[in-house]
Structure 1
Amino acid sequence: MNQSTHPTVILGGGFTGLFTALHLCHQRYPQPVILIDQKERFIFKPLLYEFLSGEMNTNQVWPRYEEVLDCSGVAFVQDTVKYVDLQQRQIELASGLCYAFSNLVLALGSAISYAGVEGAKENSIPFRTGEDAMALGQHLRQCLQCASQTKDPQQRRLLLTVAVIGAGPAGVEMAATLADLLPRWYDKLGGNSQEIRVVILNRSKEILKGDVNSQLRATAQKALRQRTVPVELMLEVSVSAIRPDRVEYKRHDQLEILPAATIIWTGGNTTHPIIKDLPIPKKYRDRAERIQVTPTLQLPEFPEVFAGGDCVAEGDNPLPPTAQVAYQQGAAIARNLKAIADGGAPQPVEVRLRGTLLKLGLGESAANLGNRLEITGRLGHLIRQGTYLQLLPAPVHKFKVTTEWLTDELFNRYSNSATQQQSARVLRWTGSAVAAVVLASSSLLLWRATQPAQFNRVWQPTGLPTLIERLLPASKR
């Protein structure tokens, strides 16, 4: 059979993989597309903290692939990749299914690295998936409930101590969120929230070291001190073992112990095992065994294979493993696949970093816009949320989540304090209302532009499609 009759297969349904599939759909890609992921649902990782805290719900942050892949040209297969044969252009899955491909997109992301720490995998809680967030939330609530009823001060202190391993962006965002969230939960149980401890343990002497968010270090440190319960920083410590009820670490060559009923691992990532097993020479890998790709995001010896996201290294200055990078790479891979299908040539990919966003507590964030302007607090939170909502997959999902979030932001959160601080709230509410109109309208127009048939089907009963046709100039239709 001719290779061109085989589908394009995408391995991994994270940002790179999912957005490659969605952009191929929107561009009317002529070949069938198969997206394979071991999970049933897409997880919007930057908003996973909001899912844990209840600021956003399951459908907003953790939608099913079948919901967001509303496209006849894309098929979703829930399965685990077992083996990739680049020479024969075949994929073998754990279920026994095999797929031949004409083009392949590697978007498997990364795996958790426990850095050889004894007991880390068995006794700490990761935070990468919706299941992780649900398990962590249930565990924390159980600890708080037990603490509210125990009379033993030592046991209560153990139950109320949370240890976060790692002070990268995930560790900082986690600690800041819990330092505001846990006191709220514990207060409802009648407990003394000031007994709660949230501790970050970090190997280096600085938080956010070597990270794209490093310019926000001073802001993050200040925010950690100002949480409902101040976050404690243990820097320059080396974690040697994690037990069910404690962290063992060395500081200045002295072994110390931190009793904690909750231990969260954010210590780092490693290259996905499937990527490590690919028959790719060392000269096309970096130190972490990630794949070196060409400027067009193709494998040097297998031009029919594209790769993006956390599993690749592009050039001498690898891009940070962030959502904005993966999103842009997914869109670029789709453009190049479409160009090849149309008889053209793939083009070099230019990823533009537009700044960084860091969640620093409930309702507070820091936005570093283009490394030139830093906005913090409530406004930083609105910018962070609005930015991420615009990255949500599929216009229909984006619009639903945006309107739900804006309704909450504009009415539920501000209504209680409006009568007490009327004049101080007017400007903030007005600015948020403008943001609401912009976000909602842009989401509607993008939905209409990329999936006109679906847009008309959903909104026809309201008369909205007809109204837009009348309002928009012909050049914009």
Structure 2
Amino acid sequence: MSNPTYQTLILGGGFTGLFTALHLAHTHYPRTVILIDQEDRFCFKPLLYEYCSGEMETQQVVPRFEELLDGSGVIFVQDTVQSIDLRQREVQLTSGTSYNYSNLVLALGSVTGYFGVEGAQENSLPLRSREDAIAIDKQLRDCLRQARQTADLEQRRRLLTTAVIGAGPSGVEMAGTLADLLPRWYEALGGNPQEVRVVLLNHGQEILQGDINNALREVAEQELRKRVVPVEFLMEAEATAIRHDAVEYQRHNQQQTLPASTVIWTTGTNTHPLIKALAVPDEDRDRHGRLQVSPTLQLPNFPEVFAGGDCAAQQGANLPPTAQVAYQQGAAIADNLKAMALGYELQPAVVNLRGTLLKLGLDNSAANIFNSFEVTGEVGHLIRQGTYLELLPTPIHNLKITTEWLKDEIFRKHLDTADGSKTAVRAMEVVGGVVVGAIVAKKLINALSDQGKSAS
């Protein structure tokens, strides 16, 4: 058992956990910091669609923790948390190792929620990790190859139909990406791309209903219908069962079936089991079972414990589960940990939302900047990419990946063309878009950083 004196444990290496660790390292925090995660790689979840589609590489979207933490002084432990004892200040790992702590940061995120839908967990595919992206890629390519080889029209239609369950931001981004990607893959195999179907099935009446991205609903609907194959909308349809080759759903009081060989599940999350198992009173949880934390992001009865991200609900704030929220909460937790260590007064975490970003197809996104104006198309794509690349966890990784992205956007995609007469014009258009994207992204990140500094 390790010495708990001046030791801070961070459980979970998602956005909140990793950014907390890195902020502590950058501010010369006087205590040992140990980050524990069951995976060996950080997953930049907003860019998983680019990883799934091949637009970005492994090291860009899922870099190793060892690379990101190199030289930071943060100790990384790859292991799975088995239990957390808040009263004894002890964390037990499945390997048998246990750690005591002086401070604890809970950043375990959430888990996929299937809400009791029969067969959903067994027969559908989520997209929350690198492994999920690999599984989706394999499933889709296998279906396309089988479809190309079958003469049975009904079977081919089933193989070429992908159902996306849930029309929140994840479902919308997935549907838009696949509606561009799958026809191209199938055409490369010699198939008819117009046979491909992408169906977005949703319980509600409209996409992005009640979501922070709702302001982009109309433009999202328009763009999804402009993909290589238009996304089909199946609204007011409640999935009741997921089979290995079909989705059963209820719509307008009628039970119906959608034949589909691939079903991707994007409709909601559940509170992490370790968070549910914590010995905290019900009044310190919200209706989803998440931890209710004070404005300083501390547990009410355990002030040495902080929590942020998807596993926590901040008092007085209704915050969406987005990267910009996690980024700011990580900085706030780090600032308050340092203040606690030095005997200073802790400050409330102020999270300022600066707009939304939504991927709507290959090289196509919508950006709602500061809730004031919208940018769509390729410039929207460049703003989205630039903003997320600015959020990459370390300056070295940021510089490396941004350079690779710029090279890919300008040179590989637009200068390596057969039509030399249009090359220079197209290159200038893209460079202009990159500049616009970089400027807006920089303003967004500077605004977030300034907000974090003013709160500390």
Aligned: 1:192 with 2:202: no
Aligned residues: 442
What are the residue-to-residue correspondences of 1:285-300 with 2, within 5 Å? 285-300=285-300
Residue 314 of structure 1 and its aligned partner are, at CA, apart by 1.2
Following the alignment from structure 1 to structure 2, what is the Cα–Cα distance between the partners of residues 432 and 94?
49
Which residue of structure 2 lines up, in the alignment, with residue 258 of structure 1?
258
Deviations 1:114-161 (A, max 9, x none): 011000000001110000001110111111111111111111111100
Residue type of the alignment partner of 1:190:
G
Give the direction of change, closer, same or farther, for the CA distance of 1:2–1:61 in structure 2 (3 Å limit): closer
Following the alignment from structure 1 to structure 2, what is the Cα–Cα distance between the partners of residues 406 and 436?
11
Counterpart contact for 1:357–1:368, Cα < 8 Å:
yes
What are the residue-to-residue correspondences of 1:122-201 with 2, within 5 Å? 122-201=122-201
Deviations 1:294-320 (A, max 9, x none): 111111111100000001111244200
5+ residue gaps, structure 1: 443-477
Following the alignment from structure 1 to structure 2, what is the Cα–Cα distance between the partners of residues 72 and 257?
53
What are the residue-to-residue correspondences of 1:403-414 with 2, within 5 Å? 403-414=403-414
* SS in structure 2 of the partner of residue 5 of structure 1: coil
Which residue of structure 2 lines up, in the alignment, with residue 425 of structure 1?
426
Residue 413 of structure 1 and its aligned partner are, at CA, apart by 1.6
Deviations 1:368-420 (A, max 9, x none): 00111100000000000000000111111111110000001111122227735
Following the alignment from structure 1 to structure 2, what is the Cα–Cα distance between the partners of residues 348 and 90?
27
What are the residue-to-residue correspondences of 1:68-467 with 2, within 5 Å? 68-415=68-415, 416=417, 419-421=420-422, 425=426, 427-432=428-433, 434=435
Give the direction of change, closer, same or farther, for the CA distance of 1:97–1:81 in structure 2 (3 Å limit): same
* SS in structure 2 of the partner of residue 387 of structure 1: helix
Counterpart contact for 1:9–1:103, Cα < 8 Å:
yes
Residue type of the alignment partner of 2:112:
I
Following the alignment from structure 2 to structure 1, what is the Cα–Cα distance between the partners of residues 130 and 266?
15
Give the direction of change, closer, same or farther, for the CA distance of 1:2–1:263 in structure 2 (3 Å limit): closer
Following the alignment from structure 1 to structure 2, what is the Cα–Cα distance between the partners of residues 231 and 176?
7
Counterpart contact for 1:403–1:440, Cα < 8 Å:
no
Following the alignment from structure 1 to structure 2, what is the Cα–Cα distance between the partners of residues 18 and 302?
22
Residue 427 of structure 1 and its aligned partner are, at CA, apart by 4.7
Residue 54 of structure 1 and its aligned partner are, at CA, apart by 0.6
Counterpart contact for 2:4–2:99, Cα < 8 Å:
no
Following the alignment from structure 1 to structure 2, what is the Cα–Cα distance between the partners of residues 186 and 311?
40
Counterpart contact for 1:410–1:432, Cα < 8 Å:
no
Residue 210 of structure 1 and its aligned partner are, at CA, apart by 0.9
Residue 89 of structure 1 and its aligned partner are, at CA, apart by 0.5
Aligned: 1:10 with 2:10: yes
Following the alignment from structure 2 to structure 1, what is the Cα–Cα distance between the partners of residues 374 and 293?
33
Following the alignment from structure 1 to structure 2, what is the Cα–Cα distance between the partners of residues 77 and 26?
20
Residue type of the alignment partner of 2:49:
Y
Residue type of the alignment partner of 2:344:
G
Residue 284 of structure 1 and its aligned partner are, at CA, apart by 1.3
Give the direction of change, closer, same or farther, for the CA distance of 1:229–1:72 in structure 2 (3 Å limit): closer
Residue type of the alignment partner of 1:297:
L
Which residue of structure 2 lines up, in the alignment, with residue 473 of structure 1?
none
Counterpart contact for 1:179–1:230, Cα < 8 Å:
yes
Following the alignment from structure 2 to structure 1, what is the Cα–Cα distance between the partners of residues 434 and 92?
50
Following the alignment from structure 1 to structure 2, what is the Cα–Cα distance between the partners of residues 277 and 355?
35
Counterpart contact for 1:402–1:440, Cα < 8 Å:
no
Residue type of the alignment partner of 2:133:
A
Give the direction of change, closer, same or farther, for the CA distance of 1:52–1:438 in structure 2 (3 Å limit): same
Residue 292 of structure 1 and its aligned partner are, at CA, apart by 0.9
Residue type of the alignment partner of 1:306:
F
Counterpart contact for 1:68–1:393, Cα < 8 Å:
yes
Following the alignment from structure 1 to structure 2, what is the Cα–Cα distance between the partners of residues 31 and 243?
51
Counterpart contact for 1:8–1:101, Cα < 8 Å:
yes
Which residue of structure 1 lines up, in the alignment, with residue 448 of structure 2?
none
Residue type of the alignment partner of 1:232:
E
Residue type of the alignment partner of 2:249:
Y
Give the direction of change, closer, same or farther, for the CA distance of 1:436–1:245 in structure 2 (3 Å limit): closer
Residue 73 of structure 1 and its aligned partner are, at CA, apart by 2.2
Following the alignment from structure 1 to structure 2, what is the Cα–Cα distance between the partners of residues 3 and 290?
30
Following the alignment from structure 1 to structure 2, what is the Cα–Cα distance between the partners of residues 372 and 436?
16
Taking only the aligned residue pairs, the percentage that are identical comes to: 62
* SS in structure 2 of the partner of residue 249 of structure 1: strand
Following the alignment from structure 1 to structure 2, what is the Cα–Cα distance between the partners of residues 7 and 418?
61
Give the direction of change, closer, same or farther, for the CA distance of 1:426–1:95 in structure 2 (3 Å limit): closer
Following the alignment from structure 1 to structure 2, what is the Cα–Cα distance between the partners of residues 440 and 358?
14
What TM-score, normalized by structure 1, do the two folds share?
Answer: 0.89
Residue type of the alignment partner of 2:247:
V
Give the direction of change, closer, same or farther, for the CA distance of 1:44–1:2 in structure 2 (3 Å limit): closer
Residue 28 of structure 1 and its aligned partner are, at CA, apart by 1.2
Following the alignment from structure 1 to structure 2, what is the Cα–Cα distance between the partners of residues 117 and 436?
41
Residue 441 of structure 1 and its aligned partner are, at CA, apart by 11
Residue type of the alignment partner of 2:388:
Y
Counterpart contact for 1:402–1:439, Cα < 8 Å:
no
* SS in structure 1 of the partner of residue 211 of structure 2: coil
Residue 71 of structure 1 and its aligned partner are, at CA, apart by 3.0
Q: After TM superposition, what 4+ stretches of structure 1 lie above 4 angstroms from structure 2?
A: 1-4, 435-442
Residue 100 of structure 1 and its aligned partner are, at CA, apart by 0.1
Deviations 1:434-461 (A, max 9, x none): 469879999xxxxxxxxxxxxxxxxxxx
